[in-house]
Amino acid sequence: MLTKKELKEYCADAYENYLGHISIDCVVFGFHEGLMKVLLLEIKSESEWYLPGGFVLKKEPIEMAANRILKERTGLDHIFLQQFHVFGDPERSKEHFDMYKDLLPEKENWFTNRFLTIGYYALVDFNDVNPAPDQFSTTCTWCDLNNVPSLKLDHALILKTALDTLRLHLNYQPIGYNLMQKEFTMPELQKLYETILDKKLDRRNFQRRILGFGILKRSEQPRKGGAHKAPYLYSFDLENYSAALTEGFKGGW
């Protein structure tokens, strides 16, 4: 939590530069050692956590705002981002109201305003990220998706909605390019799917299906040096991949 002086400065800056009543919260998914990870911040002097977020500059497109926010938290540019929902309950930021309401009079207190938040989910390569805390946090770090600490505000709902949306998108979009390293084996990719879906898949059927999408290229050389049988290496066929991203898989109707 900020001191009164810090808060005052922050609010003055915010009123001058950002759109009122609107915030952005990002659910950043990564994949590492067979586990789904989400990027979280730990609030100063409390052991509470929240999603990376921020505000929209007065003349900034919202996608750009989300990118800017994530660049600050991860060091990455050109992140794969997907807007998924606006959370607009008038009571959703009540915790913030209460926390800051006594420090500054309401008129100059940015945090006693109501905020709608636009939810984005991001898919990133775990290894590329350099987590950096923001002004309100001591720590920025990856947490296991199946072991998420208690979150502030409605951030638990935002996280759940993001995950549901991601699982849905799995059915008609290719996913993986933004989460995997350039080359990977079929079992590694399968593990990604299993982790997102939280269920086991059959090796052989998975391979048949994913190859059927035509978004993978197999390298000439298998990965050597590892234990056991040397697996083939795959990479995404970017042309087909992005075509599938815009057109989607199988229609239904």
Partner DNA sequence: AAAACATAGTGTCGTTTAGACACAATTCTA
Partner DNA sequence: TAGAATTGTGTCTAAACGACACTATGTTTT
Q: Which of 32, 68, 114, 191 binds a second copy (CB under 8 A)?
A: 114
From residue 94, how far is each of 68, 100, 111, 115 by CA, in Å?
26, 10, 10, 10
CA distance 136 to 143: 18
Q: Say if CB 151 and CB 159 are below 8 A apart.
A: yes
Which one, 58 or 218, has the nearer CB to DNA? Answer: 218
Whole-number Å distance between alpha carbons of 210 and 173: 11
Residue 125 identity (one-letter amino acid)? D
Q: Provide the mask over 205-224, with x wherever binding to DNA is found by CB under 7 A and - wherever it is not.
A: x-xxx--x---------x-x
DSSP state of 184: B
Q: Give the integer Cα–Cα distance in Å for 202 and 226.
A: 23
CA torsion, points 160, 161, 166, 172, in degrees to nearest 10? 140
- Tell which one of 3, 228, 239, 246 touches DNA (CB under 7 A): 228
Strand partners, 213: none
Helix, strand, or coil (residue 196): helix
Site for DNA in 169-208 (CB under 7 A): 185-187, 202-205, 207-208
Backbone angles phi, psi at 150, to 5 degrees: -65, 135
How far is Cα 1 from Cα 3, in angstroms, rounded to an integer?
A: 7
Pick one of a second copy, DNA, none as the site partner of residue 63 (Cβ within 5 to 8 A by kind).
a second copy
Least CB distance to DNA at residue 204 (A): 3
Stretch binding a second copy (CB under 8 A), from 167-175, 184-192, 213-221, 224-232: 167-175
- Positions 85 through 104 that interact with a second copy (CB under 8 A): 85-86, 88-90
Given a contact cutoff of 8 angstroms between Cβ atoms, the answer to whether 11 and 104 are in contact is yes
- To a second copy, the closest distance from the beta carbon of 55 in angstroms equals 11
Helix (H, G, I), strand (E, B) or coil at 108: helix
Q: How far is the CB of 159 from a second copy (least distance, A)?
A: 18
Partner that binds at residue 56, options a second copy, DNA, none, CB closer than 5 to 8 Å by kind = a second copy
Q: Which does 157 bind (CB under 5 to 8 A by kind): DNA, a second copy, none?
A: none
Q: Does 216 bind a second copy (CB under 8 A)?
A: no
Query: What is the closest distance, in whole angstroms, from the C-beta atom of residue 253 to DNA in the complex?
Result: 8
- Which positions lie near a second copy, rule CB under 8 A? 19-22, 56, 58-63, 83, 85-86, 88-90, 114, 116, 118, 168, 170-172, 193, 197, 199, 201, 248, 251-253
- Which positions lie near DNA, rule CB under 7 A? 185-187, 202-205, 207-209, 212, 222, 224-225, 227-232
